[in-house]
A and B are shown apart, each in its own frame.
Chain A
Amino acid sequence: MNPTTLKLCLMAVLSLVGIGLYGLMICRNLIKMVIVLQILVKAAALGLILAGQMSSQINLGQSLGITVIVADTIVAVVGMALAVQVQRRLGTLDVDALSSLRG
């Protein structure tokens, strides 16, 4: 892999992570949060594939990436189901309403 492609891929991973974290910090809507979480996990999957490429263990990297995608789908489904429950119970999707963690 030539250095330019490597840099490009790294930047893609980092910017996805950045977008994901930024989104998690500012989003208040639960469904948006699930989507933002997906972006973060995609960054992780991309990072795994990139790492496999760099350490010339392409098979390992790509199969781990696919595993992450499968696992992440479940997270998304459960997250959405929870969002539906929250909407039914509280009548809102605002995460600030879920502040029973308050000390």
Chain B
Amino acid sequence: MAIAETIDAAPAQRSGYWAGVASRLRRDPVTMICLAVLALLILSAIFAPFLGLQDPYKGSMIARLKPIGTPGHPLGTDEQGRDMLARLIYGGRLTLFIGLMPVVLAFFVGSILGIVAGYAGGMVNTVIMRTVDVFFAFPSVLLAIAISGALGAGIVNSLVSLTIVFIPPLTRVAEAVTSGVRSLDYIDAARASGASALTVIRVHVIGNVLSPIFVYATSLTSVCMILAAGLSFLGIGVRPPEPEWGLMLNTLRSAIYVNPWLSALPGLMIFITSLCLNLVSDGVRSAMNVHD
């Protein structure tokens, strides 16, 4: 009863839905810390040339595999004597781009396909979902390699192939959530008020299906970074000497007995990034959920 009265006494808020999401996010310390870490990673990657770092491409035959803490090389040097700190920060550029971009693209394409399939049902649904099912027949790594191989090496081609790899699972999730929402009475009520399918989807469907799709998409970003690294390792993605965390992890793997901590550094970066992405996606999901 006391709770009810408090709610009643509270002044009517005029803020919109997204303002509410933002204010709930601000009250969540874990999400805020992870967001800060991600912001730091992204900003340092963008502004890498202005940070006074050493040249990430310049090697030295005598200063190879220096351990962490070596003067002049705070994070040591790699197997060709290039400064690790510079390579890790510069590497963030390509890694984050290849890790995030395919998922972002696939999120849009997959959500549209899935929402259309789930809302329209019938023949439209059959055509879209059976086409998507064909892609599920292949393991994602194999599919990425096959498409990349067919398109040829290069960053753009690996972006395209990774996007294609992530469209089917996102479409599947979007379709499942949408057809669940589609059967609820408020969709019928909205249709009964004479709204067009597009208006019903915009006002009543998207807000209710986006958060599970979004959370699933963020969980795919870490997978995407690993896949991109795999493509680079096979020579059909990023090529040496470009700094990229996955590629660095692969080239440093031969040094794991000589200098294990050094070899683990690119992996640690991938780990921190994907952990932060996952925690942020969890935080955003609960902030988007008005029931809490």
Do A and B interact with each other, yes or no?
no
